[in-house]
Amino acid sequence: MEQALLLFTLILYLMAFVSLITKVKNHLSLAFLWLAISTHLVTLAWRSITAGHLPFTNLYETILLLSFLLALRLVLWRRQVERRYRWIILMIIMGMIGTALLIPSSYKAMRPLMPALDSFWMYLHVPAYFFGYMALILAFIYSLIFLWQGKNESSSEAANLLRRLDNEVRIAFLFLNVGLITGAIWGYHSWGNYWAWDVKEVWALINILTLALYFHLLKSKGIKKAFIVILTFMTVVFTYFGVSLLLKGIHSYL
Amino acid sequence: MRAKLIKIYVKIFQIILVVLIVILAISTVLIPEAVSRMNPDSPLAPILRGLSQDHFYNSPLNLTLWLMLCVVILLAIFFKCMPGFAKKCLHFLLVAIFLLIIYDKTVNQRFFIAIREGQEVNFASFLKKPSATYDIPLRLLKFDIQLHSGSNIPAEFTSRLLVNRTDTTVLAINRPLAIGQFRLYQNAYNLEYLIKIISDRDTLDTPFNTPFILNQQEIVIRDLDKGTGRLLVAVDKAEYRIVPNEVSNLAGRRIKFDGPSPKYTSIIEVADVTGIDILLLFGLIYLVVLAYLLGWKQSNIR
C-alpha cells in the first residue's frame, strides 16, 4: 500500500514537472503539485500510523520527509523560488522518491522505537535538521546556477540570485543550529551527555563551522559564498549518508 | 585602524575555523588506537600524532583551538570590532557556551555504576573524592524490560532502586534521578545466569567461569551440562559434576548449588551536571538571538 502510494505520488510529481517544463498553464502545474503533496502527506501519515511513530527514524523515512519539505517549500513559499528554477527542485524531489522506491526493502523495514528515541526532543531535533537541509539544497542550487552563469555580480540577475542564496543560507544556518542544540538537550535528558564526540555529532558541528565561514567573509564576494555553500552541502551529504553508511556511531540509524 | 583590526580578527577567525574543520574531519575517519599503533617510521605517523589524532577530543590541541576561538571573539567584542548589539550578544553567548563546555568536559565527573539485582553499592565509593554527603546506599531491587509487542526490541527498561534504604524510585531512559549535583541515567544492562552457593550460613551469587575462594580453595563453575543437568565445577583444577539444588561435599564443606537463575545487571551512567542547566539555557538564548539576527532582522527573508 505504502509503495503504491509512493509510486502514485511520483507520477503526480512527474506530471507537475512535465506541465512546468512544457509551459502549459501555470495553475495546472500547481494543481498537480498540490495533488502530489497531498498523496505524499498521506504516504507519510500511513507510514506513521503503521510504524507507530512519526517517520523520522531511518534513512528511508527521512528521504520521504526531506522530499516532502522541499515540495512544501515549493508551494507554500513559491515566491522565494523563481519559476524558472522550480523544475530543478522537482527533479530532486522525484530523484529522492525514486531512491526511496528503489532502495532495498531491508532499509524500509519498520522497527519499533528504541527507548532513547522515544522522546519529545526527537520531534524537534529531526525536523529542524531536515528543514535546514531543505534550505541548503536550495542554496546549493543557487550557488551552482551562480557559478554556471558566471555573470558579473553587479548585474541585477546575479544580485537577485545572491539575495536568494543569502536567504536560504540564513534559514539553513539557523535550523542546523536548532538541530544541534535540541539534539544536545535531548542527549542530556536521555543519557546525561549533551556532547559525546560521536561521529555524527562531529560532522554536524563541521556543517555549522563550514557554513559559519559564509558569514565571516572579509569581502562579500558571490563566488566565495557559492564555494562555501557547495562545500557545506558536500559535508552535509557526507553527514547524512556517509556517516551512516561508512562510519560507526550512536547515530547510525539506517 | 579599526578596519585593519577587523581584517586581522576575521582572518584569524577564518584560519582557526578551517584548521578545526580539517582536524575534526580527519579525527572522525581515523581510529585513535590505529594511530597509536602506527609504525613510527611511517611518514604519516609524526603528522597524525602532531595533530593529536590518537586522542584528539581530549587533547590539548583541541582545547587550545577552541580557547583561541574564544579569545579572538572576545577581543573583537571588547575592541569594538563587531557591529551591532545583537551580534555582540550572539558571539558573547558562544564564548560562554564554549567555556562552559570546556569546564564540564575537564572538571565534571562522569562514570558508570553496574549494580546486579539484589546488590547494594555505596554511591560515595565511585566518586573521585568520596564525601559523607554522598554516603548513600543504592540497591537494585528489580530490573524490568518491556518489549515492543511481536519484537525483541525493548520499549523501555527500568531499574527499581532503593535509595538510602528508605526511598524506592524508578530509573528509566529519559527519566533520570538526581542525587545532589549528580544525575543518574539508565544506560544499558547485562543478563547473567548466576548460581547461588549456600555453604553453612554463607550464601554467594556467582556467574559461570568466575573463580571464588571457599575454604582456601579456588572454585570455578565452568558450565551446565544440558544433557545430564549437572554443573561442571572445578575445585583447584580437579573437576566435579554436581547435581544442582542438592547438598554436596566439596572443598571440605557441605555446599548446595542453586540455579542457574537469570539476573540482570543495570548499567547506570552518572554525570556531574554542575553548570549544565545554565549551558542549555545559554544554548536556547543563543538560538533566539540567532533567529533575530538571521530572520526577523532581515526584512528580505520574509
A244 and A163 in a common domain:
yes
Residue of A nearest to B182 (CA): A192
Which is higher by pLDDT, A224 or A83? A224
B268 and B165 in a common domain:
yes
A40 and A150 in a common domain:
no
Q: How many domains does chain B have?
A: 3
B241 and B208 in a common domain:
yes
A247 touching chain B per CB within 8 A? yes
B100 and B13 in a common domain:
yes
- Reported as a single tens digit per residue, the pLDDT across B29-76 is 887 777 777 777 777 777 777 777 777 888 888 899 999 999 999 999
- DSSP for B58-85 reads GSHHHHHHHHHHHHHHHHHHHTT-S-SH
CB-CB under 8 Å, B18 with A171 = no
- Reported as a single tens digit per residue, the pLDDT across A69-98 is 999 988 887 667 777 888 899 999 999 999
A92 and A75 in a common domain:
yes
A250 and A148 in a common domain:
yes
Mutate which of A166, A171, A181 to disrupt the B interface (most B C-beta within 10 Å)?
A181
Strands (E) in chain B, as ranges, are 110-116, 120-122, 137-147, 154-163, 167-172, 177-179, 182-199, 202-207, 212-214, 217-225, 230-235, 238-242, 247-250, 253-272
B197 and B176 in a common domain:
no
CB-CB under 8 Å, A111 with B13 = no
- Reported as a single tens digit per residue, the pLDDT across B238-248 is 888 888 888 87
- Chain center to CA of B136: 21
Mean pLDDT of all residues belonging to chain A:
87
CB-CB under 8 Å, A206 with B24 = yes
A217 and A165 in a common domain:
yes
Mutate which of A73, A206, A225 to disrupt the B interface (most B C-beta within 10 Å)?
A206
Question: Looking at the predicted structure, is the pLDDT value of residue B302 above 60?
Answer: no
A16 and A103 in a common domain:
yes
Q: How confident is the model at residue B28 (pLDDT cuts 50, 70, 90)?
A: confident
Provide the β-strand partners of residue B214: B217
- DSSP for A222-251 reads HHHHHHHHHHHHHHHHIIIIIHHHHS-STT
Q: Residue A205: what pLDDT? A: 95
Mean pLDDT of A217-234: 89
Q: How confident is the model at residue A252 (pLDDT cuts 50, 70, 90)?
A: low
Judging contacts by C-beta atoms under 8 Å, the chain A residues touching residue B291 are 174
* Residues spanned by the domain of A212: 114-254
- What proportion of chain B, given as a percentage, has pLDDT over 70? 96
B57 and B84 in a common domain:
yes
Question: Looking at the predicted structure, is the pLDDT value of residue B300 above 70?
Answer: no
Residue pointed to by grid coordinates 542530556: A188
Q: Residue B71: what pLDDT? A: 94
B184 and B147 in a common domain:
yes
B77 and B42 in a common domain:
yes
Judging contacts by C-beta atoms under 8 Å, the chain A residues touching residue B299 are none
User: What cell was used for A180?
Assistant: 544541534
B212 and B159 in a common domain:
no
Q: Where is the domain boundary, A92, A112, A132?
A: A112
Helix (H) or strand (E) holding A32: helix A26-51
B204 and B253 in a common domain:
yes
Mutate which of A123, A136, A162, A194 to disrupt the B interface (most B C-beta within 10 Å)?
A194
Question: What part of B 32-71 touches A (C-beta under 8 Å)?
Answer: 57
B101 and B10 in a common domain:
yes
A237 and A213 in a common domain:
yes
Distances (CA, A) of B131 to B119, B125, B178, B184, B272: 22, 9, 17, 17, 14
- Reported as a single tens digit per residue, the pLDDT across A166-204 is 999 999 999 999 999 999 998 888 888 888 888 899 999
Q: How confident is the model at residue A250 (pLDDT cuts 50, 70, 90)?
A: low
Q: Report d(CA B283, CA A22) in Å as an integer.
A: 48
Q: How many domains does chain A have?
A: 2
B258 touching chain A per CB within 8 A? no
Q: Where is the domain boundary, A112, A140, A172?
A: A112
CB-CB under 8 Å, A114 with B154 = yes
* Residues spanned by the domain of B77: 2-107+275-301
Kindly state the DSSP code that residue B246 receives in the 8-state scheme.
Answer: S
B161 and B231 in a common domain:
no
B165 and B103 in a common domain:
no
B29 touching chain A per CB within 8 A? yes
Q: Residue B301: what pLDDT? A: 37
A105 and A88 in a common domain:
yes
A124 and A100 in a common domain:
no
CA distance B118 to chain A (A): 24
* CATH code assigned at B135: 2.60.98
B292 touching chain A per CB within 8 A? no
CA distance A181 to chain B (A): 6
A224 and A170 in a common domain:
yes
Q: Where is the domain boundary, A82, A112, A142?
A: A112
- Reported as a single tens digit per residue, the pLDDT across B90-136 is 999 999 999 999 998 888 888 999 999 888 999 999 998 888 888 99
Q: Residue A76: what pLDDT? A: 82
Distances (CA, A) of B130 to B112, B113, B125, B127: 15, 15, 6, 5
- Comparing CB atoms, the residue among A170, A178, A205 nearest residue B287 is A178
